[in-house]
Amino acid sequence: MYETILFPTDGSDGADAALEHAVDHARQYDATLHVLFVADTDAVHSGMVGEEHDGVAQSEMVGEEHEQEQPSGLVNEEHEDAVTAHAEQVVSDTADAIDDDVAVETAVWSGNPFKRILDYSDESDADLIVMGTHGRTGVDRYLLGSVTEKVVRAADAPVLTVRLGNPE
């Protein structure tokens, strides 16, 4: 039923919660699991600070002191390099956490996460997309948007969403 399963990750707890489901489906169907991180370079170039992932805010990846001392273009380039390095580490760590009995392919792309996830899904002919969700509601959801929600609405492949459990 499934030959190619796409697991977009951003290194967050929400994505980690979905990983087990992605691996279980890949194992059950003997499918290849594609682990994708989309480095949001659109946010880097616009000066937006993204969410915190793995306890590191994007502004901390470069170091805020550099933003004061260097021309804007250099800061953005360094920031983009740091975001890409972080993405590569997240993808590598995720792949390492998956048992050897599951075929894994990894990729780091850059751009708008929602659009690039759809692009990767199309290019890889994904049969299923497994994504985590943060479970935001109300104003937070409206202001921040939801990459997962946009993918659910626009993807050609079915999307399995896994909500991060409520912290106690």
In a domain, 41, yes or no: yes
In a domain, 8, yes or no: yes
In a domain, 36, yes or no: yes
CATH number, domain with residue 35: 3.40.50.620
pLDDT tens for 60-80 read 444 333 344 445 555 577 877
- Which amino acid type is present at position 156? D
Query: Which pLDDT belongs to residue 134?
Result: 72
Query: Which pLDDT belongs to residue 51?
Result: 46
Number of compact structural domains in the chain: 1
In a domain, 65, yes or no: no
Query: Which pLDDT belongs to residue 81?
Result: 83
In a domain, 99, yes or no: yes
- Per-residue confidence band for 4, with pLDDT thresholds at 50, 70 and 90: very high
pLDDT: is 34 or 144 the higher one? 34
In a domain, 13, yes or no: yes
Give the closest residue to 84 by CA, choosing from 132, 14, 37, 36. 37
In a domain, 38, yes or no: yes
pLDDT at 52 over 50: no
Q: Rounded mean pLDDT of 97-103?
A: 96
Share of the chain above pLDDT 70, in %: 70
pTM of the model: 0.78
pLDDT at 8 over 50: yes
In a domain, 72, yes or no: no
- What is the total residue count of the chain? 168
Which domain does 137 fall in, by range?
4-46+84-163
Give yes or no for a contact between 90 and 54, defined as CB atoms under 8 angstroms apart: yes
CB-based contacts of 69, cutoff 8 Å, min separation 6: none
